[in-house]
Amino acid sequence: IKFAVFASGSGSNFEAIAQAVRDGRLQGELVLLVTDKPGAYAVKRAEALGIKVCAHNPKDFTSKSAYETAILEMLHQKEVEWLVLAGYMRLIGTVLLQAYPKRIVNIHPSLLPAFPGKDALGQAIESGMKVTGVTIHYVDEGMDTGPVIVQEPFKIPDGWERDEIEQVIHSIEHRLYPETLNRLFAEALEESK
Ligand code: GRF
């Protein structure tokens, strides 16, 4: 299965996924990094890993559809079959949703439907949650609202600082995302037989 990762920021999940592909823990071909932030650190990681980058600034387009159509052109060129969102800070629009039905997934640092949107961990801490976690879900037109694929909870030890919790959440993500993608891709291949 050929897939693209979408990221707007640091790209630590992107790198973890790329590593898993290299190690053979994730059977698939990571052919493209798509970003809406040409200056994102994720782009540097892609360059270091030798993975092609598609970087368009949405501001250079007259509409979301025009922006996504430009991305879609590149996705078709690279024969991308699945879209993997990892810190892509933008809603997916109808152009990509229609082109990849049930083939777009996202990772989110909370137990959805709790704390969708930005700074999920901050929201969880703010409301005094004793348990948080990570969710991987299919993407629909909403913000962090599609059907859940897998969730992993994490019990927050008393007195922990945000930084410490964040590190654990990231380490869960970096293991869970490659593992889950490997399963989804295997299932997709099975179904297409
Ligand atoms: C992750 O916590 C992910 O769950 C969220 O955005 C963050 C991206 O981190 N959607 P990184 O860019 O992969 O380091």
User: Is pLDDT of 51 > 90?
Assistant: yes
Confidence of residue 2 (pLDDT cuts 50, 70, 90): very high
Find the CATH number of the domain harbouring 188: 3.40.50.170
**Nearest atom (ligand 1) to Cα of 85:** 10
The alpha carbon of 188 and the centre of ligand 1 are apart by a number of angstroms equal to 25
Name the residue with the closest Cα to ligand 1, atom 8.
87
Domain count, the chain: 1
Question: pLDDT tens across 98-155, in order?
Answer: 999 999 999 999 999 999 999 999 999 999 999 999 999 999 999 999 999 999 999 9
> Whose CA is closest to 150, among 101, 104, 93, 106?
106
56 is catalytic: no
Catalytic residue among 56, 76, 108, 174: 108
Query: Cα separation of 86 and 39, whole Å?
Result: 16
pLDDT > 90? residue 193: no
| pLDDT at 169 > cutoff 90 | yes
Residue 149 and residue 184 in contact, taking contact as beta carbons nearer than 8 Å: yes
- The domain of 47 spans 2-192
